[in-house]
Amino acid sequence: MAGYKTEASFLDKVEIHLQRCGCETWREVIPDDCLNWEHPYQVDLILFRDDIGYIGVEGKNINTLGQGGIIADAVKQIEDKYRNQTYFDGKIIDRWCVAVPTDPTEYVDKKSSDRILVFLKHFLWKMYNISVLEYTTPTEKSNERITIDINTPRSILFKPIIDTLFGGTYVR
């Protein structure tokens, strides 16, 4: 996994990529019912595109998939604070994601991290109906990409790669 200096710097990269793919994005969005609170809830990122709809994102800057407690905190935030709220004067966000960096480092065994990530995707999807938004920085061998789930068009990416998830083939 790649570590970024801050969660904000990680989400900056994600947001820039999403905007290049034609998405509208908003950061630190306050739900409608929380606007007048002294310390309101704030969703890290919401994205929108006509063919995708609204997707809420809780970002976590982890440096290993072994940081399950941080992922659990993200799920708790989505479930307890954000999911049942409305945004932008009455809109419901139907899809939610936990965003994590997925760049391998010299400290991570690629095969093991891939297996853990697949487990995490299936677990979050089945238990909470939450997807994992993976952000991978460009390298000499691959372009920058974002993968969410099988319901997200491949046009959110720059260079599609065929992969299999949830029993079906999709382009990530």
CATH number (domain holding residue 49): 3.40.1350
pLDDT bin (cut points 50, 70, 90) of residue 135 is confident
**CA atoms of 74 and 20, how far apart (whole Å):** 26
- The answer to whether residue 2 sits within a structural domain is no
pLDDT greater than 50 at residue 107: no
Chain-centroid distance, C-alpha 146: 8
Mean pLDDT computed over 103-120: 66
Greater pLDDT, 153 or 149: 149
Quote the CA–CA distance of 4 and 101 in Å, as a whole number. Answer: 8
Q: What's the rounded Cα separation, in Å, for the pair 114 and 84?
A: 32
Average pLDDT, the chain: 81
Domain-embedded: residue 71: yes
CA angle (119, 50, 75) in 5-degree steps = 30
Give the Cβ contact number of residue 9 at 10 Å: 10
93 found inside a domain: yes
pTM for this prediction = 0.81
Number of domains the chain is built from: 1
Domain membership of residue 160 (yes or no) is yes
Q: How confident is the model at residue 70 (pLDDT cuts 50, 70, 90)?
A: confident
- Residue 91 covered by a domain: yes
The range of the structural domain enclosing residue 37 comes to 7-171
Residue 16, token pair as written in the block: 């820039």
Give the orientation angle of helix 110-128 with respect to helix 68-77, to 10 degrees: 30
Rg (CA), the chain: 16
In a domain, 99, yes or no: yes
* DSSP for 40-71, written as a single string: ---EEEEEEETTTEEEEEEE---SSTT-HHHH
Residue 158 lies in a domain: yes
Does residue 1 form part of some domain?
no
